[in-house]
Amino acid sequence: MQRQFILALMFYAAFATGFSPAAQAQISGDAVIIGVLNDRSSVFADVTGEGSAIAARLAVEDYGGKVLGKRIEVVSADHQNKPDIVGSVAGRWMDVDGVDAILDGGSSAAGLLIQKMAQDRGKIAILSGPATSDLTGKACSPTGFHWTYDTYALGSGTARALIAQGANTWFFVTSDYAFGHALERDATRFITESGGKVVGGVRHPLNNPDFSSFLLQAQSSKAKIIGLANSGDDALNAVKQAAEFGIVQSGQRLGGLLLLINQIHGLGLKAAQGVIVSEAFYWDQSEQTRAFTARFEALARKKPNMLQAGVYSATMHFLKAVEKSGTDDGVKVADAMRALPVNDFMSKDVVVRADGRVMRNMYLFEVKSPAESKAPWDYYKQIGVIPGDKAFRPAAESECPLLKKS
């Protein structure tokens, strides 16, 4: 009788203080598992790849390795930009291996598939590498988040900046898949709204080694700007081959709508100087960004780009949301992610909108000349800041039903 009384008293005390069994942390399995799924062997391997997995592991280390008393595990895989592999790995991770969130995504096509699969399973998808603004538009998801940048922001920043400099005629060299189409579409909008004109364009296959025919068409168009609506090794090859054709020397300029610092490093400042880029992060912006970069570089042997920095940021915010919600249930974690402001070395009180769009600032940089650069990877000078509410698609223009609900 005395034992029953003590147990009843303990239960009442727990209930009264809010720590009933139902209020305890609920984590499926023995760990919170984060999966980093991206391209590790093809066109985007250098800009996402192992660097994104390193960034996620650094975030887990900084979080303390545990959340709600459970260990945090990071797994990673290469989807090779092949839809069947994306689907196979993502499905196995979520259905069999207990992965709670899939991060990065690598390419836009992969990101769209990952986000839809995660939504169907009530799991979290946080995309840093993919660019298409459709992720928070017509393809938005209640458990999906677009973390670092998108094609709308790239078009808004780079295209407007170049139009302001008088570069009012454009010819597009576009990667023929979801990302390239979205980037050309969004950039075209800002070109025309700013008084410019698109005089033509061509589309090339992903991972294309030879841009000669495309560049010759761009050259013959006499457009002031050849807009490169591509990324990764495709952007690098296009810029290198444009230099071989003497395109810039003949008076045309290249508009690298998604040229990351990795490509600038590969090109060298002699070829890349003067190019304007839009980025959400640069390693040399502050003491905090430099501190993260030192740790990342010790493992990756190169500086981080905005996509990899975004994976760190996404990992930290996801873990904070798990802690806040007391569970790894995807729907509840997603609600917590939207309720919490994003704070880390690249984010200060950043809002997560109902459509999953992280409303961070974007920065305009001009690539330095060789004479201006004082050290390796000292490539950018900041020439502008675009506030998040100006950089990304306004809620009123969105096709996402989640914004209409909010």
d(CA 308, CA 304): 6
Residues spanned by CATH 3.40.50.2300 within the chain? 31-149+286-360, 152-279+362-391
Distance CA 335, CA 321 (A): 8
Residue 83: count other Cβ atoms within 10 Å of its Cβ.
12
CATH number of 31-149+286-360: 3.40.50.2300
H or E stretch covering 283: none
Query: Tens-digit pLDDT profile for the chain (406 aa)?
Result: 444 444 443 434 444 444 333 345 689 888 999 999 999 998 888 899 999 999 999 999 999 999 999 999 999 999 998 999 999 999 999 999 999 999 999 888 999 999 999 999 999 999 999 999 999 999 999 999 999 999 999 988 888 888 888 999 999 999 998 889 989 999 999 999 999 999 999 999 988 999 999 999 999 999 999 999 998 889 889 988 998 888 888 889 888 888 899 989 988 998 888 888 899 999 999 999 999 999 999 999 999 999 999 999 999 999 999 999 999 999 999 999 999 999 999 999 999 999 999 999 999 999 999 999 999 999 999 988 999 999 999 999 999 999 987 5
Residue with tokens 């740790």: 295
- Angle, in degrees to the nearest 10, between helices 287-300 and 49-63: 120
Let me know if domain 152-279+362-391 sits in CATH 3.20.20.80.
no
For the four alpha carbons of 304, 307, 311 and 316, in that order, the dihedral sign comes to positive
The answer to whether 177 and 109 have CB atoms below 8 angstroms apart is yes
Contact 206, 181 (CB under 8 A): no
As a whole number of angstroms, the distance between CA 400 and CA 140 comes to 6
Note the pTM of the prediction, 2 decimals.
Answer: 0.87
